[in-house]
Amino acid sequence: MSILTQVEQGVATLTLNRPDRLNAVTEAMLDEVVLTLRGWSVDPAVRCVVLAGAGRGFCAGYDLSGDEKAARAEPMRVDEAAARMSIHAEIPLLLHRMPKPTIACIRGPAAGSGLVMAAACDLRIASRTVKFKLAFASAGRCGDPGGSYLLTRLLGAARAREMFLLDEPMTGDQALGSGLINRLVDDDRLEAECAALAAKLANGPTAAFAAMKRNLNAAAVSALEESMAQEAASNAQISLLSHDASEAAKAFMERRTPRFLGY
């Protein structure tokens, strides 16, 4: 199977599973990822999503070996390719917008499509063996949908243009310093670190997290007044209608840990 999935105690893990190809993605593989994320985005049993790669790499980007193209009876037309790409563009959209936290658990190479998927997640935790590279220029391509938007906002315009145009690799230390990743850990600690963060988020106030993501995403493209208005509306709704907000207040008064149910 090109992907592996697991849902346990509110944490849904999607593992890209082509370790012999450093988890380079194919069209069929991306179709599976889209369908899985669509389902998890609306599943109340899923309260946090983790994206990982099997073996020694996260994702080496799109598989350019030509196997799928060779199997086609006719070359893909431009309009057909654009339609396929619009479907696969749902992946960064879902990771970025779904109403629950998403974590990229990254070791080894994270290039091209893999880097874009990681950039779409809310948190990126990487091991010290990580190496980021867009690789689009090397392949004579301009980049996957979402990459320009996400990397410009994570890195700033100058650093994002440098990554696209010069196509130079970025180490874990450089990625941490530039804000591309949130944490850099030893290789043997990566899974444990990601699991601990995922468990914390899965046990948190899911409805509030969903509102936070909406507010943060809107803030990236809104004026201050618009952003504040949305935050006020979201805060009022969560404060008045959310079970978790009431539970947090009650737990505070009773001096105990709140038990969040996710609504």
The three-class DSSP label of residue 182 is coil
Residues ≥6 apart with Cβ < 8 Å to 216? none
Domain 3-202 has CATH 3.90.226.10: yes
How are strands ordered across the β-sheet holding 170-171?
109-111, 131-133, 170-171
Higher-pLDDT residue of 255 and 79 is: 255
Residue 83: pLDDT over 70: no
- Domain-wise residue ranges, the chain: 3-202, 206-253
User: Cα angle at 135 between 134 and 137, to 5 degrees?
Assistant: 110
Q: pLDDT (tens digit, 9 = 90+) per residue, 199-220?
A: 999 999 999 999 999 999 999 9
- For 47-81, b/e burial (b = at least 16 CB within 10 A) is bbbbbbbbbebbbbbbbeeeeeeeeeeeeeeeeee
State the alpha helices, DSSP H only, in 20-89. Answer: 27-41, 67-70, 78-88
pLDDT band at 194 (very low <50, low <70, confident <90, very high): very high
Residue type (1 letter), 219: A
Task: Average the pLDDT over each of 62-71, 111-120, 126-135 and give the range with the smallest value.
Answer: 62-71
Q: pLDDT (tens digit, 9 = 90+) per residue, 38-60?
A: 999 999 999 999 999 999 999 99
pLDDT band at 70 (very low <50, low <70, confident <90, very high): very low
Q: Which residue's structure tokens are 């046990």?
A: 203
Q: Can you name the residues that pair with 8 across neighbouring β-strands?
A: 11
Q: Report, as an integer, the average pLDDT of 151-160.
A: 96
Residue 67: pLDDT over 70: no
Q: What percent of the chain has pLDDT over 70?
A: 92
